[in-house]
Structure 1
Amino acid sequence: MSAKSKLKFSLLAATAVFLFNPGLMPKALQSDTALRAQEIQAPGLGELLDSPANAGGKAGSVNAALALPASSADKAAASADTAVAINPHSKPGENPFQSSGSALAPKMAAQAPAVVAVTPAVLVGPAAVSHGPADVAAIATPVSLNPFESQMSHDDTQSADSVSVAPLKVDISALRYYAASKDLKRLGAEMRRLKDLYPDWQPPKDLFSQSVAIDEQPLWTIYARGDFASVRAEIARIQSANPKWQPSEDLIQKLKVGETRALILSATAQGRWRDVLSTAQAVPQIMVCQEMQVQWNVAEAFARLKNYAEAFDVYHYILSTCDDPAMRLATVQKAGLLLPSAGTTSLIALGRPLPDGGTEFEEIGFDGLRHDIGAFIEKGDFATMPQGEDLTRFVEFVQRTSSAKDATLIGWYFYSQKDWTSANAWFIQAAKYQRDPKSIEGVILTLRNMDRHADALQMARRYMTASPDIAKQYIEIVSGALTQDKASLKLEKDDADTFEKVVAEQKSALGGQALGWKYLASGDKAIAQKWFSDSVSWEPTEGGVIGLAVLASRAKNYATLTALKIKYASEFEGLRDFRVYKPRPARVASTRPVKVKKVEEKKGFFWFSKTNG
């Protein structure tokens, strides 16, 4: 069975449940009070068939506001899957890439992450659970998840006999009090007491130094503006006046992170990928969930350098430690643009379970299939069409999640096959999932192709205010009824006024010329002239221009007819059939002088004999 046959068979099997249910036909929609035009909110009408890389939808593309520019050479390098070494034995959720051995590559922890990734059962079966000593040791041993924190090797690990003693914590508050008050007698007594208690203790060297209290709030205010250079300059100014003052450790650490973030962002914008990695490795504490953009930039740097194994580790680290659903989704979407498909597929398996039985990134997992169906709708290309099993899972996903967008996509697939009945069923189901004008438009189009013009008109009349495309369908249906010699569709009394109003609002050239021919047939040339003129002003079409030519010819307005032929004859061949008649010029008497030789009078008549002199 060919790919085309397998695809159609799988989708037809899912469609059958709708076709055998009479309640899914347009009458059900007509009686459904929930599908009222005033309740429909019209989204972008082109979103259903957009490719995943360009769609503004949740599963269609990466957040454009966070995407950073990259050179075309980098993009080409990232898309070269053929040179990528893939581990054929890797399981979903594991790193499928073999390390490139780059000196810049951080080594991820060998142990499992603290947050357990859930793998969809549809992709891999449940793994066997072991309760041996090795598992207990792995749980008891703390594991670093930061991709820039290397674990100690076995040789570096301290033995059980090597125990480090924590430094003594001696309370010297009283000692500093006596030093500040210059009470040397009590100061000496306190020092002897502490030496007796802690023989190895030594008094601090700055015991008699006076501490200076500096308000750091102005520094934090400058830091909040992101002006890190000014913070450093202000710290230096304060220390020049107070040499013994030191800023708080919190300020110093956050300032360091802020400066590192700025350097990484600048290097990313300029495509200096190695600088991105070296800067991040110098400050590993920046690789935290609060610095998501930095982590994305680091992962991108690895991917641009074709170090896909380490790029995957960074994405894996984010999904294993960070909980923000929007950030997690954006992480997988960004990975989908930079990693080969094997990496994206493995990351999708890390999606957490959802209450409806699906998983967190299940919808993204169907992006490739959506792209293939969209490619067929546009080009009829079956070269990359997926197997029937993938299509069956997709249909199950659509039905389980009530995805109106995907149901509409399947409807357009059948529409491109001219399978009007199946397309109609899927469009109706999509309309039940969500009152989207695009699915309503699909219902109207399929009804027209099924020669159910009355049902199509009724649907278009009800929902024509929902979107310009549905209004266009209404105009096309009524225009056909007005201009056909034997119209199969009977218009209602209110349709005339409604139709003229909609045509004017939409500035429809088709509707304008249809009204022009209607009034011309009824003998009302003035109104016909108006509608033909409006139609041509909105968009010059052959029907509108020919209408004006007919009116000009009947009125013997040859100047207007000539102007139409000059302007539109090369575009509309119908104008060649119109003939322009020019009146014969009046005979002009001779202006030469006449000489009268003689005048003879005969019976009351005068005869003139003339000679030309």
Structure 2
Amino acid sequence: MSVSFAKSVSVIAMSLVLAAPMSLGSDPKVATDDAGDLILAQAEPSAPAATPEVDESALRYFARQGDTRRLEIEIARLRALYPDWVPPTDLLSAPPQTDPELDAIWDLYSQGRLAEVRQKIAERQSADSGWSPPADLIDRLELAEARERLINASDLKQYDTVIKVASEKSELLTCSEVDVLWRVAEAFAQTNREQRSFDTYRYVLTNCENPNERLATIQNASKNLSRSHIDELLKLERKTAGIGEFEPFRDDLARAVVAEAGEDEKVVVPAEQLTRLEQLAEREKKASDALLLGWYYLRRENIDPAEKWFRQAFEAEQTASAARGIALVLIEREKFADAEGIMYRWRADDDDSRSVYLAAVANLLGTEPRPALSPDVLSSIVTEVAAAKDVIAANQLGWYARAWQQHETAKAWFNLALQWKSDDEEAAYGLGVSYFQLGQTAELAAMKQRWQGRSERIQLIGTEAQAPATTAPMVTPPQTATAAPQTAAPAPQTVQTAPDVRVRDTSAAPPRPSTSAPQVATRAPQTRSSSTSYRRGCSDFVHPETLAPEAALARGWCLMDLNRPLEAAQAFEVALRSRTDRVRSDASYGQSLAYLRAGLVNEAAVAATKARQEPSRTIELQTSILAERALGAFERGRYAEALLALDQRAQIAPERVDLMVLRGYAYMKLNRLGDASRVLEAAAGTGNRDAIRALADLRNQLNGQ
């Protein structure tokens, strides 16, 4: 371009010239001069130059097209090139363009089709050797191509190229090209020239007027500059009616610092920023702000304010994150039942929620004296512990079962924990204690042999010096996820508890239907031998892998008679390898029943498909599986899924009264009160107490509307 920049050319352009490689032809003396001296020299007035003729063709074209944005950019560009130039006032009243071909070229340019612009120019010059494109068109085309190269280089993180292109086309470095300035600033920062990056941002905030771009500039700078440089830029803030334009950024900065401190207790948050965020949270009541404060205080073990902010977040928006925070506070306060209760709804949302739920469970089970948990709560706990393969919670279930004198169940849990983590000393110790309690001396001796030299207390089991067999110490829940969810494994039989039960929800809820396997589940097919002889034969431990399929099948039914469903499922798995169709069918049937008794519905459904079944057995298993699925869906709040499972079951078997009650409650939850009334009135007509109570709940709900 023949006309050079006047004194309003940005300091950034000079900085770019200094940053450009020597191959660009820059004067070595200039390249080594002090940048501050050059900036001062640029600020000095220059000798007046002759006013050149300004090409306003692009300006008039954009005015005719009504392209306000490009019109403003062109005016800004011409003012930067020609400081004494004044925009004409007759842009919109200008006569129509007399050169349609040139007008078409401008149209291509305005659409950003730069390669086609070059092509059309070349075609016209080839057809008309006396025609030359307007200088302004060429200038703008070269500028647009440079902008495109710069943006592409920036997107590809080719930062040296960004700086090179900008130094060659300093006309890009104006307030009308703020995005280019941001990219140049980033390039400086990424090539270890933070001072020049700072100068670029400072230029924008000193010279540019657009409020949104100014706010975006300080936000962009925060990604590339140190805190000290950000503080310097904040001094350039402008105020309107006493309110600073960077207040939203200051709020976000406070959020970012507190969020970082919520993950790292070593981070120190300035009191001003902590107070700012607390005032924001109180004023705007955003759940996200309250959560940041909750995690900040919890990380520093400041429980009272942590609970305050977590509960405020939960009131604003019920989320898994807020529930986790409250649960962690409750665990710190040793209110484990409350922590389990609040996390139950969110237990499967993500890894963090599952970890906190399992920590609450482990601590709840380990409470002394042992709490009397309802069968429903224990069933939920068993399912989640098995799905997560959580060794700590499995151990606690073992100690919990032992406290209620259920040594076989305790043994099963400790054994399962060892399967998940073979070197877990706590599980090995618990299993050893169970062997001792059950009089299984050979197994205890083998356990001691395996752990010789690794655990003194295992060696002392059964001696006078044996340490008391108690629960593991309190489980500290992780504040971040520690393990991804794994495939669910079979869970031991649900621990039976004292008669007292705990109600999970005080709102109307159905009693748990009788969804266990049919009574025939406790009877093996007639092909097996007397259960009495096998009852004697399966009381001792025998690894099922050592048995032939037929013997494993018989042992599986024996274990079912002893109410040891998980061990039975393993025996049935071996029996499934038989080459005999009858044995495989019986094994598939038995394994499905075993998993149903253990409360593992999905595993039961899979087991039922492992071999062909008689039609009566197929119906028997399907009705039990669908009933369990309906109940599980209801307990998870998935009422439509519960109804779907009930509908599927109703297609193959009559609906029992207890399942009619479950259906009625599902309709109530979905606000299908007419359907609920129809079903519950029919169920209540049988005299069933649960149905009568459900009908009363429905009427109370109707009266409350």
Using structure 2 for the length normalisation, give the TM-score. 0.44
Q: Which entry has the higher C-alpha Rg, 1 or 2?
A: 1
Using structure 1 for the length normalisation, give the TM-score. 0.49
